[in-house]
């Protein structure tokens, strides 16, 4: 009896210390694992390949991180499982982030980062849901479909995260379908609004996976092959704002994260470098340092080895039209695709001069009377025949404006992507990429909507709020893209937009969602990026001067002729009056005597050359209407300017 009383008291104290009683576990029990067909602490093979990995001669270094290995960042961007509504999908985020990093390692950090689809796992894997999942389950499922079908996990640009699974009741989840249909695996949306499932799509497969536990096994796996997914007791870190996390008398795994490396603190000793999935507003820019042996972090870990993945250097790209008609395995489009595409009247996604001025913006405006662009130098001997920020590995993720439903927000994508590229350039490619929120601009920027907008007005809006509030455009991890604006809610009957609010308020600027049953909250201190200067240019010489000196730019094009583009240098004469779409230009090149612009579109990686196109100088009116912006202040770890928010946002609202 005496022992029972002492034990009960001790457990109660432990629960109070770690907050166990208040937190719903997002990791299923062993019985629940096995009921789903997931092998507890399973491996792909009877003898795990992990056993054959070698420890370094002389032991492991005191510090090692894939986010800064020999000065190179191999970590993919941070994510947020909690928005647009709460979803307990940490188990999918941890595995996807670690696998994305390993693909980046396999590519030697070259090329545009590949972002994998968490939503594909939620829709199809059957190893968990928004109410919890399994640590090795995502890798077991992915290994099975990789072997059976030769096709693996879809990319984010054809299946973005919406924080829903089939049983979810939160937010807009209950009103929509989350079954494993073609449209819920990989899709785009046509101008009519409906999702179109892609028959072929960019994807990643794995060749091996396994489970490990213990410090030595974790270090060996991370050091040799890359980041891993691990379970953790998250209760003690809900309100973490920095430092070395410890705690809990009886730590219980209730959450999954990814471990990217380790370090040594002079006072606390060794710690793990952990990437969470609660957004960049939390912790140390989305990361936490966990003391060795604490928070149950060394009990349940999983790893996977990438096999194949769609990438330009592998010459295995999938090519589909803007409308989602894909080439067959022989590289041929259906013979009627030109007729099908040509029969659709394309909506103009650019505002007219009159519409821009009615919003209070200057047509083709500049931030200053004399544009700073005029003072940029031309290199001695002229510009090189070829120059690309993509080839310098200084461009950010490719995106898709068309999903989860069609939205004419190209103008917002072109501006945010070129600005994010310039932030990456300013950081010299260090640290995980910053992604800027298109949805914040759709909700609050008086520069357009899903029915069209203006890139110059978009930059002017960011500059205005930068000057008047000191804060700029939010990061995507606090306001993800939903392809909705307040005026597009009733455009399509099956749209997720229809029952939601997209007015400009705190919740629609930057948000987090604490847990099930709690209201999402708007946070008033959030990672953001300001603009110090902006302007408009036109003509080959001006475009080259701006791109060469300061980075990618946003430009208008006549998009009709490239709806079915699948590769090569494209030539088509268009007039300025034909411009109906916005893109970003990241550089230029020359092939067989033809000079071309390297153009990034916002139609997903299945379109064109992995989301890019080569447009001949003088084609599609691409040089007629272009805009640029200079980053001001932006939130980043190296600038020590983050205000860390709790998981539930209670200290930031």
Between the two ends of the chain, the Cα-to-Cα distance in Å is 47
To the query of whether residue 601 is one of the catalytic residues in this protein, the response is yes
Residue from 601, 626, 627, 645 carrying the catalytic annotation: 601
In residues, how long is the chain? 653
How far, in Å, CA of 652 to CA of 520, rounded? 12
Residue from 90, 124, 410, 484 carrying the catalytic annotation: 410
Residues 6+ apart with CB under 8 A from 394: 421, 424, 425, 429, 551
Tokens of 513: 């969602």
Task: Tell me which residue of 650, 653, 642 sits closest to 280, measured CA to CA.
Answer: 642
Residue from 123, 581, 610, 627 carrying the catalytic annotation: 581
Output phi, psi for 533, to 5 deg.
-165, 155
647: preceding bond cis by omega (within 30 degrees): no
How far, in Å, CA of 417 to CA of 423, rounded? 10
Task: Tell me which residue of 286, 51, 189, 287 sits closest to 488, measured CA to CA.
Answer: 189
Tokens of 9: 């008291």
Q: Is 390 helix (H, G, I), strand (E, B) or coil?
A: coil
The number of helix segments (H) and strand segments (E) in the chain equals 12, 26
How far, in Å, CA of 441 to CA of 484, rounded? 11
Residues 6+ apart with CB under 8 A from 630: 372, 422, 531, 532, 533, 534, 550
To the query of whether residue 581 is one of the catalytic residues in this protein, the response is yes
Q: Phi/psi class of residue 427: alpha, beta or left (left: φ > 0; alpha: ψ in -120 to 50)?
A: alpha
Q: Is residue 378 within 8 Å of residue 405, measured between CB atoms?
A: no
To the query of whether residue 410 is one of the catalytic residues in this protein, the response is yes
Q: Count Cα neighbours of 533 within 13 Å in the Cβ-side half-sphere.
A: 11
Question: What residues are annotated to the active site?
Answer: 410, 581, 601
């Amino acid at each position: 009896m005496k022992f029972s009383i002492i034990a009960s008291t001790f457990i109660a104290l432990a629960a109070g210390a770690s907050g166990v009683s208040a937190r719903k576990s997002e990791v299923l029990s062993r019985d629940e694992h096995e009921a789903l067909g997931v092998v507890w602490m399973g491996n792909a093979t009877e003898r795990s390949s992990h056993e054959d990995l070698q420890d370094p001669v002389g032991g492991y270094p005191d510090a090692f991180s894939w986010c800064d290995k020999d000065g190179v960042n191999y970590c993919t961007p941070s994510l947020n499982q909690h928005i647009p509504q709460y979803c307990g999908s940490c188990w999918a985020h941890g595995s996807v982030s670690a696998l994305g990093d390993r693909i980046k390692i396999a590519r030697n950090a070259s090329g545009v980062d590949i972002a994998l689809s968490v939503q594909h796992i939620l829709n199809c894997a059957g190893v968990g849901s928004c109410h919890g999942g399994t640590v090795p389950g995502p890798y077991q499922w992915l290994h099975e479909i990789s072997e059976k079908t030769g096709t693996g996990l879809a990319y984010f640009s054809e299946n973005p995260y919406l924080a829903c699974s089939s049983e979810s009741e939160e937010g807009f989840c209950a009103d929509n379908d989350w079954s494993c249909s073609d449209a819920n695996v990989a899709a785009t949306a046509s101008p009519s609004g409906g999702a179109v499932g892609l028959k072929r799509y960019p994807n990643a497969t794995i060749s091996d996976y396994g489970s490990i536990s213990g410090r030595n096994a974790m270090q060996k796996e991370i050091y040799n092959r890359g980041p891993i997914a691990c379970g953790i007791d998250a209760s003690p870190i809900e309100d973490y704002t920095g430092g070395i996390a410890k705690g809990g008398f009886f730590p219980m795994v209730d959450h999954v994260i990814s471990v990217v490396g380790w370090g040594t603190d002079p006072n606390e000793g060794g710690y793990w470098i952990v990437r969470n999935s609660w957004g960049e507003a939390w912790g140390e820019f989305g990361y936490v340092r966990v003391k060795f042996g604490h928070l149950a972090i060394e009990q349940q870990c999983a790893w996977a080895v990438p096999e194949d993945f769609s990438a330009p250097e592998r010459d295995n790209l999938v090519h589909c039209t803007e409308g989602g008609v894909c080439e067959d395995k022989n590289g041929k489009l259906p013979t009627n695709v030109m007729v099908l595409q040509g029969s659709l009247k394309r909506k103009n996604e650019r505002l007219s001069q009159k519409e821009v001025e009615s919003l209070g913006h200057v047509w083709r405006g500049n931030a200053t009377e004399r544009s700073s662009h005029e003072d940029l130098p031309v290199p001695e001997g002229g510009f090189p025949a070829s120059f690309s920020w993509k080839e310098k590995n200084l461009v950010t993720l490719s995106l898709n404006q068309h999903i989860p439903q069609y939205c004419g927000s190209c103008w917002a994508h072109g501006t945010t992507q070129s600005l994010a590229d310039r932030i990456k350039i300013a950081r010299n490619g260090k640290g995980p990429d910053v992604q800027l929120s298109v949805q914040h601009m759709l909700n609050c920027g008086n520069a357009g909507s899903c029915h069209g907008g203006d890139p110059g007005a978009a930059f002017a809006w960011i500059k205005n709020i930068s000057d008047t509030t000191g804060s700029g455009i939010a990061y995507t991890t606090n306001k993800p893209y939903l392809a909705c604006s307040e005026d597009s809610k009733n455009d399509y009957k099956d749209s997720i937009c229809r029952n939601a609010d997209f007015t400009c308020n705190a919740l629609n600027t930057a948000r987090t969602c604490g847990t099930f049953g709690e209201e999402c909250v708007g946070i008033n201190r959030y990672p953001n990026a300001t603009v110090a200067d902006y302007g408009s240019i036109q003509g080959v010489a001006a475009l080259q001067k701006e791109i060469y000196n300061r980075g990618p730019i946003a430009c208008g094009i006549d998009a009709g002729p490239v709806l079915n583009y699948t590769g090569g240098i494209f030539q088509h004469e268009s007039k300025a009056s034909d411009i109906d779409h916005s893109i970003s230009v990241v550089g230029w090149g020359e092939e067989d005597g033809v000079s071309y612009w390297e153009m990034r579109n916002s139609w997903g990686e299945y379109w064109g050359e992995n989301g890019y196109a080569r447009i001949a100088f003088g084609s599609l009116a691409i040089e007629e209407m272009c805009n640029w912006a200079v980053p001001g202040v932006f939130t980043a770890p190296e600038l020590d300017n983050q205000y860390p928010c709790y998981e539930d946002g209670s200290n930031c609202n």
